[in-house]
Amino acid sequence: MSAPVAASWDRIEKWLGSNASDIPLPAPAAVPALAAAEVAVGYAFPRDLVESLLRHDGAPRSLVPSRWTLLPLDTAVDTWRRNTEELAARQAAEVDDMSDEDWSEVEEGEEDAFWGWSPAWLPIAVDGSGCHLVVELREGSRHGAVGVLDPESNPRFEGSGTWPSTAALLEGTANALHGDVPVWKPTIESWGIDWTR
């Protein structure tokens, strides 16, 4: 069980206040904007993600180890929309021209890995090199999990750099900032936080 979102944000804010007071945290997302985002995406957001967005709508550059910048809600929805439109275009092209790869033979449950994107994922962070952290919005055993979307490899929700929830991601960030995770050491730079091993 992860620490409550509010407790993790308290620790993150305390660390930033003591070590990087010139790095501002964004204001909360507006409740109507959250409701509109859920309608646009077609899924209710996990409670811990909503709690985080109602605390801060995004976060400073590279706040999350080792390189992740939390996206503001409008950017997350814009990225979701762009990726979903690109997926629809790719799927339509495959229907018209099966010479590339025959997606009709993809096994059930493997569609996301085959296409590299699902409309049931909400991007919540970016690393600056085309990779995203995404939250699984579908109900089921992975609901709320934070996975890695890398254009160079299959999406994954297990292993290094993934979290079972937004709350776990924030708790891990707070722990790393406070030195409770000896693998990562934060250094303040003019552009944000640099994480070193």
pLDDT the model gives residue 55: 98
Class for the domain spanning 5-95+114-196: alpha beta
User: Considering only CA atoms, which of 21, 66, 18, 8 is closest in space to residue 186?
Assistant: 66
Structure tokens, 176: 């790393």
pLDDT the model gives residue 8: 98
Task: Give the integer Cα–Cα distance in Å for 66 and 13.
Answer: 18
Residue 57 CA, distance from chain mean position:
13
Task: Give the integer Cα–Cα distance in Å for 93 and 99.
Answer: 10
Give per-residue burial for 77-98: e unless 16+ CB within 10 Å, then b. bebbeebbeeeeeeeeebeeee
- How high does pLDDT run on average in the chain? 88
Read off the pLDDT of residues 125-147 as tens digits, 9 standing for 90 and up.
Answer: 999 888 999 999 999 999 999 99
Q: What's the average model confidence in pLDDT over 3-8?
A: 98
> Model's pTM, two decimal places?
0.89
Task: Give the integer Cα–Cα distance in Å for 173 and 60.
Answer: 12
Reported in sequence order, the residue ranges of the chain that DSSP labels E, i.e. its strands, are 69-70, 121-126, 132-136, 146-149, 185-189, 192-196
Task: Give the integer Cα–Cα distance in Å for 10 and 76.
Answer: 23
pLDDT the model gives residue 105: 57
pLDDT band at residue 98 under the 50/70/90 scheme:
very low
